Amino acid sequence: MVKSHRQAVALAALAIALAQAPSAFAQSDSAPADDTAAGNDIVVTGTRIKVPGLTSSSPVASTSEEQIKLQSALTVEDFSTKIPQLSGGVRQGSQGSDAFGAQVLELRNFGQSRTLVLVDGTRGAPFGFRNSVDVSSLPASLIKRVDVLTGGAAAVYGADAVAGVVNFVLNDDYEGVRGTAAARLSEHGGAQYGGSLMVGSGLGDKGHIVVALDYTQRDMIRAGQRDWAATPNSTIPSTGGVYTDVASGNTFGFTDGGAFTESPTSTSNVSSRYPLVSGLKRINAAALFKYEISPAIEVYGRAMFTNMKSVETGTVGATPVSLSRTVAVSQSNPYLTDDIRNQLTFVNGSAQVNVVRSLDEIIMYHTERNTMQVQTGLRGAVTDAVNWNVYAQYGRSTESTKVTGDGLVTSSTGANNFAALATSGDIFSSEGLINGLISDITGFDRKRDQFVTAATLSGTLEELFSLPAGPIGFAGGVEYRRETASIGQDTALLTGNTYKEGVQAAYKGKFDVVELYGEVLIPVLHDLPLIQKLDLGGAYRLSKYDLWGTHGTWKVEANWKVDNNVRLRGTYQRVLRTPNFGEFAGTTSSLPFSSLVTVDRLKPRYGGDPCVLGTGDAAQCARFGAPAVGSANSTSAGYLTGNYYYGGNADLKPETGYTTTVGTVITPTFLPGLNVTVDWYELDLKGAVGVIQPIAAITSCYITNPTAGNPLCALVTRNSDGTFKDAYVNNQNLGRLLQRGLDIGATYTLRQDWIPGEGLRFSYQGNIVTSYKIQANATVAAIQCKGTFGATCSSDGTTLVQPDYRHTAGVSWLFGKGLIQFDWQRIGKVKSSAAGSTETISAQNTFDLSASYDFTDNVTMNAGVYNLFDKNPPSVSTGGVFNTFPDTYDILGRTFGFSLTAHI
């Protein structure tokens, strides 16, 4: 257990907050989840129509600035993981991910490319080759609120809003100077700390500007710092090495410490050195402005820049380079000791020696990413009832990655580097091999550009006419978007001339789209018995892509306020997602098939050969020439002899589907302060772009559908001896994703004289999945995935846990100068989705205790203990990473957070 003075400071700070809080006064409740001020308009996430008092027809769950501060948040991840509708996505513990230090949000386990991220209602700048946005490029200090709209929104915001949108609302009205210092310190080792400075000022009486600067640093955490992450079975060929003289058969080697031995151990375990949490350094800078050019025209915009440097394992995992080769060792080699020389047989001045060993250096990816986005626009009023808005924005993400711990197999002349080193170099020590074989690889260069321009007219028709229930609201406009991406590789990666990286293809692509969109909101009835207000609405977007043709998306909606106690709402929408660059532009790359048993991140994609394990259909196994039951170890690297091929498909079509939400908002007048929302949803996506991983193809071929004509059998081929040879996982419009469930939210503020302070505030946000079916291919049956874990039920190979229940519940004790809050997060029980498995993970509960206190009008402290009872993540026997699922469960353990903010 690692403790430090920083943790003591955090504990002391929390104690002060808890002691001081009883003299406090209640903070005001957060603003309604649907509304936010922007200039003089009311903006509702999910629509472009701006009408005072408008409420959303789509479910919107919000996280307030107050809640973000209570998490001592330095990054978006520090609070977003508590939102039940957000599944795992890519996090700090997603080692081996191709996100390279980014944080990516994912709604409802529908895949990271099916969640649209917005910044103040417009698209965030994507990175890499997916449609995803690295939300850590947003300065946490500038975030006023985060709205999560669950259910499609393609007709309003365009493609990719299939599972919903996450809209980050920034604080463009801040006035003054505010500085914050914050830290989050894990009890068992690992720290995250940083600070921010924000300055906001009026520009005379006509405008405003806000400038923010954030710095964040996160220490790397290695597996050896967490007892539960120990992986005793993760052995590699000995780092000391095993050497066999071919002529005599003499075997010798070295211990991991470098001592000579004639009885060498054949394996080593260095997994304690593998990164569990990636190290990171990040600088965020942002500026928001608005200025009234004339009484009818305002110019506005934003500029954001992020520099991020991360260190983590790459797509090939951390496992060191291993060598197995017979080489010629020269009798005059100066590195031969007497012990070594006595074991060798020299013929004509050289000895033939078989070498089996691993290098003593793990593979790491060092990435630097620069992300920028600039936006400027003009907006104003046509009349008192109609407004216009025109903007353009440009975003670019550039990144470069250097690979360390790997090396080149052959030299520029084609000579094998290991064989050349063996002649006269030191192949018997780790230092000699590393110095002789390991060379930094330039690695990856990725660039992503996005340009968007749009013009919108919105308002009401009240100056022309009004219906008895009120004026008709509308919004309409045109949008143009151009996206480009390029992926560059080192020559060694292009040719496969490295020990671990395989063949990594370079590619580039581009597309553009012109769109027309419109919305209408019609007040139909009002002030009638059981109909205090009834609004109907709709939206349509026509999109013309240069690559995928013309498509229409639409929505219809209803919002019925029965009385002051009950409001009913519902939407039905057609949604669309276009393929990302990796899916349509990527050419074929490959990794050794054996990577699926040596790389932790890839292990869930392969589960062994059913024919060898005895779980496969005997006739089908015989038909394809599989080895007999028990005759081999099908989970060893040597059983997977060929390559794992993956890449894009230029013939892909957009995914299309329909989303439905029906819900109610209950605000009983007999119980003031209570607000309850219940929304049923259905997401039905067809033609989903995806791949069939080897575990799914093998399971279908040999267990669930063991027929001669099963097309999935061809995706994993066999050698003449029956072992597996190659796997093919190129993208296809294969499947269907269908999820149904309930979102439930409730808040209640109880103010009574008998309660010390100003009252108690209760909150609850929960998600219940009633059905989640994934059909990987039209030829196979759909799989029920609710309440499961494992790659079989992952829609994109990222999030591997699909719970059927999640919630965050809390109670806050409110005081004049602060509050004390207790939160409870629960993730429901899940069972393995692997065929024949009975393994389960019990429901997991973690708790947080946090507090906020205003020392003065200008100085505020937030402190908390997160994962209060030091709950370890659940253990899983197979299919996880470090014995668990870092994409879903807390892997830090008890963490102390502290932030101090001063403003003038």
d(CA 393, CA 480): 11
Q: Is residue 375 predicted with pLDDT exceeding 70?
A: yes
Backbone angle region of 123, left / alpha / beta, with phi > 0 → left and psi within -120 to 50 → alpha: beta
- The set of residues, in sequence order, having a beta carbon less than 8 Å from that of 253 and lying 6+ positions away, is 238, 240, 241, 242, 243, 260, 261, 264, 265, 357
Would strands 724-728 and 643-646 be described as parallel, antiparallel, or unpaired? parallel
* Per-residue confidence band for 754, with pLDDT thresholds at 50, 70 and 90: confident
Alpha-carbon separation of residue 874 from 437, 741, 826, 866 (angstroms): 39, 25, 13, 17
pLDDT at 40: 42
Q: Which of 158, 166, 170, 149 is nearest to 46 (CA)?
A: 149
d(CA 67, CA 83): 11
Q: Which amino acid is at 171?
A: N
Q: Is residue 377 predicted with pLDDT exceeding 80?
A: yes
* Per-residue confidence band for 43, with pLDDT thresholds at 50, 70 and 90: low
Lookup result for tokens 């995806």: 690
Tokens, residue 557: 């909606």
Under 8 Å between Cβ of 302 and 373: yes
pLDDT at 77: 86
d(CA 134, CA 399): 12
pLDDT at 198: 96
Under 8 Å between Cβ of 518 and 503: no
Instruction: List beta partners, residue 609.
Output: none
* Per-residue confidence band for 33, with pLDDT thresholds at 50, 70 and 90: very low
d(CA 679, CA 668): 17
Tokens, residue 518: 């419109």
pLDDT at 775: 86
d(CA 796, CA 578): 15
pLDDT tens, 123-135?
Answer: 999 998 888 999 9
pLDDT at 55: 78
Q: Which of 879, 797, 605, 614 is nearest to 716 (CA)?
A: 605
Would strands 844-854 and 818-827 be described as parallel, antiparallel, or unpaired? antiparallel
Under 8 Å between Cβ of 71 and 141: no
- What value does the mean pLDDT take over residues 739-748? 95
3-class secondary-structure state, position 237: strand
Reported as half-sphere exposure (CB side, CA atoms, 13 A), residue 608 has a value of 19
3-class secondary-structure state, position 80: helix
pLDDT tens, 140-199?
Answer: 889 999 999 987 899 999 999 999 999 999 999 999 999 999 999 999 999 999 999 999
pLDDT-wise least confident of 84-98, 620-634, 807-821: 84-98
- The set of residues, in sequence order, having a beta carbon less than 8 Å from that of 800 and lying 6+ positions away, is 88, 604, 789, 790, 791, 794, 879, 880, 885, 887, 888
Query: How does 103-138 read in b/e, with b if 16+ C-beta sit within 10 Å?
Result: bbbbbbbbbbbbbbbbbbbbbbbbbbbbbbbbbbbb
Q: How do the domains of the chain map onto residue ranges?
A: 594-640+696-728
DSSP H or E stretch at residue 338:
helix 338-341
Instruction: List beta partners, residue 373.
Output: 304, 395
Q: Is residue 25 predicted with pLDDT exceeding 80?
A: no
Query: Phi and psi dihedrals of 294, rounded to 5?
Result: -150, 170
Q: Within 10 A of 450 (CB to CB), how many other CB atoms are there?
A: 22
- The set of residues, in sequence order, having a beta carbon less than 8 Å from that of 10 and lying 6+ positions away, is 183, 185, 863, 896, 897, 898
Instruction: List beta partners, residue 323.
Output: 357
Tokens, residue 170: 């920034």
d(CA 884, CA 902): 40
Under 8 Å between Cβ of 722 and 647: no
d(CA 200, CA 209): 6
Q: Which of 745, 897, 900, 744 is nearest to 821 (CA)?
A: 897
Q: Is residue 794 predicted with pLDDT exceeding 90?
A: no
pLDDT at 733: 86
d(CA 536, CA 518): 14
Query: Phi and psi dihedrals of 316, rounded to 5?
Result: -95, 0
Tokens, residue 527: 């002030």
- The set of residues, in sequence order, having a beta carbon less than 8 Å from that of 577 and lying 6+ positions away, is 113, 114, 131, 154, 159, 160, 162, 654, 655, 685, 689
Q: Is residue 84 predicted with pLDDT exceeding 60?
A: yes
Which runs of E-coded beta strand occur in 529-578?
531-545, 549-561, 566-577
Please compute Rg for the chain using Cα positions.
30
Q: Is residue 16 predicted with pLDDT exceeding 50?
A: no
- What value does the mean pLDDT take over residues 519-543? 96
3-class secondary-structure state, position 359: coil
- Indicate the burial class of 202 (C-beta count within 10 angstroms; 0-12, 13-18, 19 or more): exposed
pLDDT at 879: 77
Reported as half-sphere exposure (CB side, CA atoms, 13 A), residue 126 has a value of 25
pLDDT tens, 853-885?
Answer: 999 999 999 999 999 999 999 999 877 888 999
- The set of residues, in sequence order, having a beta carbon less than 8 Å from that of 778 and lying 6+ positions away, is 734
Q: Is residue 10 predicted with pLDDT exceeding 80?
A: no
Under 8 Å between Cβ of 812 and 820: yes
- The set of residues, in sequence order, having a beta carbon less than 8 Å from that of 4 and lying 6+ positions away, is 185, 191
Residues found in the chain: 904
d(CA 481, CA 515): 8
pLDDT at 53: 65
pLDDT at 14: 38
d(CA 261, CA 271): 24
pLDDT tens, 207-235?
Answer: 999 999 999 999 999 999 999 998 888 89
Reported as half-sphere exposure (CB side, CA atoms, 13 A), residue 742 has a value of 11
Q: Is residue 317 predicted with pLDDT exceeding 90?
A: no
3-class secondary-structure state, position 827: strand
Q: Which of 741, 799, 797, 747 is nearest to 770 (CA)?
A: 741
d(CA 644, CA 502): 9
Q: Which of 295, 289, 304, 144 is nearest to 213 (CA)?
A: 304
3-class secondary-structure state, position 492: helix
Arithmetic mean of pLDDT over the chain: 90
pLDDT tens, 688-734?
Answer: 888 888 988 999 899 988 999 888 899 999 999 999 999 998 888 87
Q: Which of 721, 833, 820, 816 is nearest to 774 (CA)?
A: 833
pLDDT-wise least confident of 21-25, 119-123, 772-776, 900-904: 21-25
Sign of the four-CA dihedral 309, 315, 318, 323: negative
pLDDT tens, 390-400?
Answer: 999 999 999 99
Under 8 Å between Cβ of 448 and 485: yes
pLDDT-wise least confident of 404-408, 439-443, 459-463, 544-548: 439-443
pLDDT-wise least confident of 288-297, 317-326, 792-801: 792-801
Tokens, residue 251: 């075997």
d(CA 714, CA 734): 15
Q: Is residue 93 predicted with pLDDT exceeding 80?
A: no
- The set of residues, in sequence order, having a beta carbon less than 8 Å from that of 834 and lying 6+ positions away, is 607, 695, 699, 790, 792, 878, 879
DSSP assignment, residue 127?
-
Q: Which of 285, 354, 365 is nearest to 317 (CA)?
A: 365
Query: Phi and psi dihedrals of 269, rounded to 5?
Result: -130, 110
Q: Is residue 782 predicted with pLDDT exceeding 90?
A: no
d(CA 443, CA 445): 7
Tokens, residue 425: 């170099």
